[in-house]
Structure 1
Amino acid sequence: MKRFFLILLCLGIFSCKGDQSQDTDVTETSTDTLNTEDLIPDALKNSKPVILNLEEANKLAELPLSCIDTEYPNKLGQTLENKDALGEPSELHPAFYGCFDWHSSVHAHWSLVSLLKQFPDVEKKEAIRESLKNSLTSENIQAEVNYFNREQSGSYERTYGWAWLLKLAQELKTWEDPLGEELSANLQPLTDIIVQKYMEFLPKLNYPIRVGEHTNTAFGLTFAYDYAETTENSELLELVKKRAQDFYLKDDDCPVSWEPGGYDFLSPCLSEIDIMSRVLPKNAFSLWVDDFMPQLKDEDFQMEVGEVSDRTDGKLVHLDGLNFSRAWVFYRLANKYPDTFGHLKMLANEHISYSFPNVAGDSYEGGHWLGTFALYALKESGNTPKA
């Protein structure tokens, strides 16, 4: 019966579609008077939040700065049409050739933009600006467009790299700085290609990909949703909403006890929750969680951190990324619905506290990408001080 009412809610019969701010539930406690500290289990109250301050921002900036011009080692992930398709990474991808692979280079650029926006006085601000300006030229972006237009590049970076490209585009579009406007305009032809690829691919995807690595469908939908919402791209936004509900609305009892997989850097269960928290209004989302992962509402809910045995192993270190990606979902839920999920903040703190001390001094196997995951999690925490 609950499933029936949830479907009715999402069809709009109870007027739940639209502005979520108008979707209230009289049975829930007002967040104006709620002390979310009371919702935190005693066992987790000792987990202190990591604060992204200027000192930490300076450390995190070193990671993308040191890798976006590092061409080797490099994982191209390329399908060759013929021998002429071979080339040096910097020839094939003059904008995004560093940081080991294309998607890591893209989100390294996102990290630099995000840090500049949050901390205009970051120590190496001029080096960051110069690096961004050198990478994201119109000529370099046109070469990236040409690569995506190759005959064998139709599925290149689908959808993980696509998602991060749209996150970079979103960050540039909301940067109130002449450089941000210039780089956003330069990036736009590639952004348009990626949006079009989403529009073409999502209707053809009959079944979602539920894994803890790059091809996870829910993750790809989440960043596409954020971009579409920010840029008011209604066509993409409605498609993402539709496909998310097609894929996940009827899901029950996510097997969270199966997590984590040995190479996971995303949680299949939490990634699904992340996108559904965006596309469903408050009451509908609450009903959906009751079926999908009801234990998440339990004030004593626990999820052990992913433990890393060898940070020099490029696959095993994925589990540090898992801790950060779990944390950003926990933080987002706790901040959006503190009356229901406020207790998840301490669980997020626990996950970040395990992995964050290892980021700045990490080997290249993790250092070329983990800083981005840490930064995104800390941004979602709401603990970043005003610059």
Structure 2
Amino acid sequence: MHLTPEHATRFATATLAHLGREYPYKMDLVLNGPEDARPPRAHHPIFHGSFDWHSCVQGWWQILRLAHRFPDLPVAADIRARAGAMLVPEKVAGELAFLSRPYSAAFERPYGWAWLLALHAEAARHDAPWGAALEPLAIAFAARFHAFLPKLTYPLRVGTHFNIAFALLLARHWAETLDPALVALIDTRARDWFAADRDCQAWEPGGDEFLSPALTEAHLMAVVLGDGFATWFDAFLPRTAAGQPVTLFTPATVSDRSDGKIAHLDGLNLSRAWSWRAIGAALGPAHPGSPVAEAAAQRHLAAALPHVTGDYMGEHWLASFALLALDGL
């Protein structure tokens, strides 16, 4: 399965419908006084839709990516018009102001930080002022990575928003062209945390996870280690060619898509597809695990793609993960 114009239209149409949908909205906010009890758009001039801040950010990444990939689709004109109205310096200044609030150091750490960097990288690809407008916000979040990573003693291996490997994948992609020092820091920390990992048991998924701790780690190491990845991977998941551990090769069952946490499991299937594809490509066609990885990716895609839209609990964010699975970063 690969990204098609039909996918692009379906995803972008759904996302445009919720990027400006202010309610329901889950705030990440420490109230410093009664004056802080204001509507979402008062705190976030751009990212006040799509249920929460990070989902709004990744929704913007998704529609800009689709407009770049399929510039002649009718929906692309709507995307460009919306971006022209929203991704402007004065609104970015409002988002920056939120970061200077007391107790905001951990705001959206690290998931939202990484998606903002991914959004800036995508915006900068367009012949438009959006990337320049978002640049101060991207620099602010990059500075937070620089400050945070050296003091994070232990890696965050969970399968939810706190997963550090996923955040570093997105942050490193941004930093490759804009912040070589951050690339070096990410690579050092990834080796510190993960280089000695062996024989992963992959006791997953958890009931509300949308990332695979095992596969996201391997995906990051594929990027960090380059030609040395296959050797590391063979020690990390030594029975991949035999389809073991079976938990990594079996799509998750989603019992209730109206439950926002259980609906995370559709995202798990999509993010696993993305990571399995990247892992297979990094291993190379001669490696016995490569065709197994691609087959696993296809199974996970087939399980999740029909459910990207349909219920708001998944619809407000799943298309961004579907885009990763179909088209990469």
Q: Same fold (TM over 0.5)?
A: yes
Counterpart position of 1:323: 269
- CA shift, 1:332, in A, is 1.2
Residues in 2 aligned to 1:191 and 1:246: alpha-carbon distance in whole angstroms: 26
Letter in 2 for 1:244: A
Counterpart position of 2:157: 210
Counterpart position of 1:162: 113
Q: Is the radius of gyration larger for structure 1 or structure 2?
A: 1
CA contact (8 A) 1:335 1:342 kept: no
Identity of aligned residues (%): 39
CA contact (8 A) 1:104 1:368 kept: yes
Q: Given the alignment of the two structures, is residue 293 of structure 1 paired with residue 241 of structure 2, yes or no?
A: no
Residues in 2 aligned to 1:333 and 1:65: alpha-carbon distance in whole angstroms: 32
Q: Given the alignment of the two structures, is residue 193 of structure 1 paired with residue 124 of structure 2, yes or no?
A: no
Q: Given the alignment of the two structures, is residue 265 of structure 1 paired with residue 197 of structure 2, yes or no?
A: no
Q: Given the alignment of the two structures, is residue 149 of structure 1 paired with residue 96 of structure 2, yes or no?
A: no
- CA shift, 1:380, in A, is 2.5
Residues in 1 aligned to 2:45 and 2:239: alpha-carbon distance in whole angstroms: 47
Letter in 2 for 1:354: A
Q: Given the alignment of the two structures, is residue 345 of structure 1 paired with residue 294 of structure 2, yes or no?
A: yes
Q: Given the alignment of the two structures, is residue 226 of structure 1 paired with residue 170 of structure 2, yes or no?
A: no
CA contact (8 A) 1:211 1:268 kept: yes
Residues in 1 aligned to 2:241 and 2:315: alpha-carbon distance in whole angstroms: 34
* Structural mapping, 1:4-15, within 5 Å: none
Cα-to-partner distance string for 1:167-214 (whole Å, 9 max, x where unaligned): 111112233x2x2xx000000110010000000000010001110100
Q: Given the alignment of the two structures, is residue 364 of structure 1 paired with residue 308 of structure 2, yes or no?
A: no
Counterpart position of 2:278: 332
Letter in 2 for 1:136: L
- CA shift, 1:342, in A, is 3.2
Residues in 1 aligned to 2:68 and 2:45: alpha-carbon distance in whole angstroms: 24
Which is bigger in relative contact order (C-alpha 8 A, separation at least 6)? 1
Residues in 2 aligned to 1:156 and 1:269: alpha-carbon distance in whole angstroms: 25
* Structural mapping, 1:18-167, within 5 Å: 49=1, 51-167=2-118
Equivalent position SS for 1:281: helix
Letter in 2 for 1:241: D
Cα-to-partner distance string for 1:340-378 (whole Å, 9 max, x where unaligned): 223311211110111101113x21100000011101110
Cα-to-partner distance string for 1:34-92 (whole Å, 9 max, x where unaligned): xxxxxxxxxxxxxxx3x321122111111210111000000002111222222110110
Letter in 1 for 2:230: S
Q: Specify whether residues 69 and 208 from structure 1 end up closer, same or farther in structure 2 by C-alpha distance, changes over 3 A only.
A: same
Letter in 2 for 1:109: W
Q: 2:188 aligns with which of 242, 251, 255?
A: 242
- CA shift, 1:298, in A, is 4.0
Greater shift in the superposed pair: 126-135 or 188-197: 126-135
Q: 2:322 aligns with which of 340, 354, 374?
A: 374
- CA shift, 1:155, in A, is 0.4
Residues in 1 aligned to 2:146 and 2:207: alpha-carbon distance in whole angstroms: 32
Cα-to-partner distance string for 1:11-43 (whole Å, 9 max, x where unaligned): xxxxxxxxxxxxxxxxxxxxxxxxxxxxxxxxx
CA contact (8 A) 1:112 1:128 kept: yes
CA contact (8 A) 1:80 1:152 kept: no
- CA shift, 1:124, in A, is 1.5
Counterpart position of 2:131: 184
Letter in 2 for 1:378: L
Residues in 1 aligned to 2:235 and 2:260: alpha-carbon distance in whole angstroms: 35
Contiguous gaps of at least 5 residues in structure 1: 1-48, 382-387
Cα-to-partner distance string for 1:254-273 (whole Å, 9 max, x where unaligned): 221x1111001000000100
Counterpart position of 1:38: none
- CA shift, 1:295, in A, is 1.9
Residues in 2 aligned to 1:65 and 1:332: alpha-carbon distance in whole angstroms: 28
Equivalent position SS for 2:286: helix
Alignment: residue pair count? 324
CA contact (8 A) 1:95 1:141 kept: yes
Contiguous gaps of at least 5 residues in structure 2: none
What TM-score results when the alignment is normalised by the length of structure 1? 0.81
Residues in 2 aligned to 1:297 and 1:83: alpha-carbon distance in whole angstroms: 58
Letter in 1 for 2:55: S
